[in-house]
Structure 1
Amino acid sequence: MWHRVAVTSGNVIHAYSSVQVQSAVAGALGVACSDDELIRKAAFGLAQACLTELRDTFGSAHGCTVVLLVGTGKNGADAMVAGKHLRERGVAVHAIATGGHVDVIGTRHLDVPAIDATDTAGLIQALDLIARADMVVDGIVGDAMVGDLRAPASDLVEAIPDGAMVVAVDVPSGVDPDSGAIGGIHVRADVTVTFGAYKRCLLLPPAAEVVGRLVFVDVGITPRLDVEGQVQRLSSVGVAERWPVPGPGDHKYSRGLLGIVAGSERYPGAAVLACLGAFGTGVGIVRYTGPRHVGDLILEHVPEAERFPGKVDTYLLGSGVLDDPDQERAIDEALATGLPCVVDAGAIETCVRRRAAGDRPTPGDRILLTPHVGELARSLAALGREATTADILHRPYEHALRVAEAAEVTVLLKGSTTIVVGPDGRAFSQDEGPAWLATAGSGDVLAGIAGALSSAGLSALEVGAMAAFVHGRAAAMAADDGPLRASKIAEHAPGAVRELLAERTALVRPRAGRRGGRGLARAGGRGRGRE
């Protein structure tokens, strides 16, 4: 049996819908505090984040110029009150009212009149200020946004110079707060300071690509969010706590038996990479089924693999499979066993068609599909739900959910931010990988990592999130700010797991001479690419 440390919710980021957040705010206002108090708490955290960025960039915030883009709602008030704190630190602060007026709480705190950008003369003045800004604070709209940004807000956003730092208040203006979709002109932030709860758009692509670094400010509404967020992200500690580690009584058969049907004349290396990914992250045994010449190649590079069918705990199907009747038959047989499956590339469409037709021997929480955008588009077409790759990139969560629901599967959609969506709509979002991760064969390594985790008995949602995390971390180690090959990701996978387990040891074992364990760093790195 593999052993896992108990999971604590503090190691998972939970993201909530705008309705859930607004309900929590309303509850807090009715009992615990006033609107003014919430804004003051949010604004203080926002000001501290702005000061940190200015000091890190210029050495001092004193003398820097900050322009506040202030909408008519509470986000604008947050920006105005934060402006008061910035002025007290010697920052030159200018406020621009994008909707003609400002929330009364904001005007009560910052005694600098906001420039009315709805007036022609005011707009000209505003554009000139933005052009000379060291930092622009985006307080235009928040999690209640509906529709695209309109003029003059859209004009002001377009005028932000590339050299100015951009800090978004709660969410970047112009993104849909729930789906993460981006329809038109929007803010691209270097930092997003979010209050009370993470909003879904902060974790879901494409909005997740424009939020920059996330800073969380607790304003006291968290206790009123008494349910898990439907969209979540595992931290490094969250992955470490869940990672299956063998105990003294384990042996190769108890550590997971993975059956792999992969590789072809055109893509023989896919099977090799999948095997490397699986062994690199802890599987006990790999049993390969496929063409003889691919099996020879596997044994040349992965002599630990077994080249004959047999009892397995989980199947990995489809990586590099192309036009091979024997392999297609093996895939059909595997899908009929009822065992957990990781389904990649050449097996995805077959799996979707079968399960959509009602042939579902494996529960939806134990079968993981790992498509890229093109493969998801083909799966949707197989379901009679046409979608272009552009459609999917615009709303990836929604399109992945359509396949997950129709076929009762869990879908891992690869991308710069990878999302893992279950048939009930619950999702994980991970973005640990560097841009160099988008390279041929990296998806085969990911499938192998997922296969190893699935053979340990984890749910498909956990498998997808954890595999994406370790895949991204291994890629970051392999890339070291430069190009990488997929085989290098597999080589660094054991090191990525070793780092995680070191964090887990630090979590449960205090250092000698101290009463408590040492602090754990959050996972770093912005996600950029995945095959």
Structure 2
Amino acid sequence: MLLSFDPDDVRAAERPLLAAGVPLMDRAAFALAVHAGHVLRAVRGRVGGAHVVLLVGAGNNGGDALHAGARLARRGARVTALLAAPQVHAGGLAALTAAHGRTLRVGADGPDGDAPAGDGRAADASGGGRGGAVADLLASADVVLDGLLGIGARGGGVRGAGGELVDALARVRAAGGGPVVVAVDVPSGIGVADGTAAGAVVRADLTVTFGAAKPGLLLPPAAEAAGAVETVDIGLTLPARPAVARLETGDAADLWPVPGGSAQKYSRGVLGVVAGSGAYPGAAVLSVSGALGAGVGMVRYVGGAGPQVLAAHPEVVVGEGRVQAWVLGSGVAPDDETQRDRVRAALAHAVDHGEPAVADAGALDLLPERVPAHVVLTPHAGELATLLRARGDDVARADVEAAPLAHARRAHDLTGATVLLKGAVTVVVGPHGAVYAQGDAPAWLATAGAGDVLGGVLGAVLAGRSADAVADPTLPAALAALAALVHGRAAHAANPGGPVAASAVAAAVPGVVRALVGA
């Protein structure tokens, strides 16, 4: 499991080591230089003769970048530091100068002039032509190390001279080619704790993060700016509970309801599906496909799409009966009062009788005021905005997309439900601070019916672990993240690197599950 920790917890873990004289910056800079060296060998074949540009802010991230730059300069790289603050880390600046690196101040009139090495103050020489000079330096670089802002930043983008550097870098890369960008600990400008990415934000190819991942490296929309993430152990002792987690292969094998030798269809879980209609049968068929592919013991379908469901899956039982979990609302039209009444009844039964339920699409506006955590909501951003507006919040879809974690938490607080917010990175929020961020899905998965398949997969794992999900209110969040992982990997397996249809994703689920439980 990939765990991330709040910036305040990371700083608290650093303090006793710093007080004891542990050289955390040296450890971080060494690791950063090693990873940058790997990148340089990949793009140029060697470190010697490569051009490395450092974007340096006033904080310790700037110091990490300067010390790493000094190490690369001693290995023969040509290193240029663009100093975006009047005063930067003195030791790092001295190290780079001693290694014959070049340091240029970027201010109101720069860049120009080598900075003095003694006290960390950048030279204030004027030179004009700043935009073109900076662009030329960035365009000529093989690698850019981003050390403008660190974990103390609260988001909202990089401002001032640093923001101009971020904009210049973006223009160079948009023009084609450009350097590989390596972020120091976090991409500058992101909301480190909440994953927001407003304003001028560095878009990295690789983030080398120290001690532990930070939430903004896993959460959308900032996760997209992080690129690949490499976590470097620098000896921190961190809290037992992370801020945000991401399930990986081994976690999926531990969580999946694998049948034992004495299993039978009822013990493996019976799933009730109230979805679709005679006019819109696709959602029903896809939900059932996802559930059967995930290995549920039995599906009972309730609704007007029975003939179509049976034609696709003759093993399904049409009609009401005892179930261990529900999938509700997919493809249920607002004017289909008969099916909506069935959804209401199933929701009430799930709440009253301790049965986990997936509430999707047409079920979201039928929720009671409060529900237990074993009811899992699966909205996309627009549906979540609608749900929050119905409960008194002034929220638009764009607001949810800009701050997914905050709005998923708000929905959990208002309803009591576990919330799975679908997106390029799926965010899951449950009780007691449980948060997951799954980035398993390709962009091709943004296709009609994909959410119906996800609902079926999630329903299957909830049915298979129904008693556990009711007994442990934090477990539905983990199972929701598990379903997102399987769903995303199934999209990759269905057509690696290319377009997929929802039905193809459902067909790939059994193979993905087999690979996971056998890992």
> With structure 1 as the length reference, what TM-score do the two structures score?
0.88
From 298, 315, 322, give the equivalent of 1:311.
322
What corresponds to 1:327 in structure 2?
A: 339
Aligned partners of 2:414, 2:41: CA distance in 1, in Å? 51
Say if 2:269 and 2:297, in contact at 8 Å, map to a contact too. yes
What corresponds to 1:494 in structure 2?
A: 510
Whether 2:491 is the aligned partner of 1:479: answer no
Corresponding letter in the other structure for 1:466:
L
Partner SS for 2:314? coil
- CA deviations over 1:70-107 (Å, ceiling 9, x no partner): 11111001001111221232211111111122212212
Say if 1:401 and 1:425, in contact at 8 Å, map to a contact too. no
Aligned partners of 2:454, 2:264: CA distance in 1, in Å? 24
Corresponding letter in the other structure for 2:336:
D
What is the Cα deviation at residue 501 of structure 1?
1.8
What corresponds to 1:87 in structure 2?
A: 73
What is the Cα deviation at residue 108 of structure 1?
3.3
Whether 2:152 is the aligned partner of 1:144: answer yes
From 105, 109, 112, give the equivalent of 2:91.
105
Say if 2:300 and 2:320, in contact at 8 Å, map to a contact too. yes
Aligned partners of 1:208, 1:62: CA distance in 2, in Å? 32
From 272, 277, 287, give the equivalent of 1:259.
272
Pairs aligned (count): 477
What corresponds to 1:508 in structure 2?
A: none
Partner SS for 2:81? strand
- CA deviations over 1:156-211 (Å, ceiling 9, x no partner): 11111212110000110011111111221110000001000111111111101110
From 433, 446, 471, give the equivalent of 1:438.
446
What corresponds to 2:377 in structure 1?
A: 369
What is the Cα deviation at residue 265 of structure 1?
4.0
What is the Cα deviation at residue 52 of structure 1?
1.1
What is the Cα deviation at residue 255 of structure 1?
0.2
Whether 2:30 is the aligned partner of 1:17: answer no
What is the Cα deviation at residue 53 of structure 1?
1.4
Corresponding letter in the other structure for 1:336:
A
Whether 2:104 is the aligned partner of 1:115: answer yes
From 195, 216, 241, give the equivalent of 1:180.
195
> With structure 2 as the length reference, what TM-score do the two structures score?
0.90
What corresponds to 1:29 in structure 2?
A: 18
What is the Cα deviation at residue 491 of structure 1?
0.5
- CA deviations over 1:98-126 (Å, ceiling 9, x no partner): 11222122123222352111151316244
What corresponds to 2:414 in structure 1?
A: 406
Corresponding letter in the other structure for 2:104:
I
Say if 1:194 and 1:214, in contact at 8 Å, map to a contact too. yes
What corresponds to 1:355 in structure 2?
A: 369
Corresponding letter in the other structure for 1:393:
E
Aligned partners of 1:185, 1:432: CA distance in 2, in Å? 26
What corresponds to 2:48 in structure 1?
A: 62
Aligned partners of 2:191, 2:37: CA distance in 1, in Å? 28
Percentage of matched positions with identical amino acids: 44
Say if 2:274 and 2:339, in contact at 8 Å, map to a contact too. yes
Say if 2:273 and 2:299, in contact at 8 Å, map to a contact too. yes
Say if 1:348 and 1:369, in contact at 8 Å, map to a contact too. yes
- CA deviations over 1:269-319 (Å, ceiling 9, x no partner): 11101111001011000000001xx11111111111110110000011001
Say if 1:434 and 1:472, in contact at 8 Å, map to a contact too. yes
Aligned partners of 2:30, 2:449: CA distance in 1, in Å? 47
Say if 1:273 and 1:444, in contact at 8 Å, map to a contact too. yes
Q: What is the CA RMSD across the aligned residues, in angstroms?
A: 1.4
Aligned partners of 2:436, 2:358: CA distance in 1, in Å? 17
Corresponding letter in the other structure for 1:95:
A
From 38, 42, 60, give the equivalent of 1:74.
60
From 130, 133, 148, give the equivalent of 2:138.
130
What corresponds to 1:4 in structure 2?
A: none
Q: How does 1:370-519 map to 2 (within 5 A)?
A: 370-457=378-465, 458=469, 459-503=475-519
Partner SS for 1:198? coil
Whether 2:259 is the aligned partner of 1:273: answer no
Aligned partners of 1:119, 1:127: CA distance in 2, in Å? 16
Corresponding letter in the other structure for 1:300:
A
Corresponding letter in the other structure for 1:324:
D
From 151, 155, 158, give the equivalent of 2:164.
155
What corresponds to 1:239 in structure 2?
A: 252
Partner SS for 2:389? helix
What is the Cα deviation at residue 348 of structure 1?
1.1
Aligned partners of 2:71, 2:250: CA distance in 1, in Å? 35
What is the Cα deviation at residue 479 of structure 1?
2.4
What is the Cα deviation at residue 226 of structure 1?
2.5
- CA deviations over 1:243-290 (Å, ceiling 9, x no partner): 111010101110001000001244211110111100101100000000
Uncovered stretches (5+) of structure 2, i.e. residues with no partner: 113-129, 470-474
From 211, 214, 225, give the equivalent of 2:229.
214
Partner SS for 1:85? helix
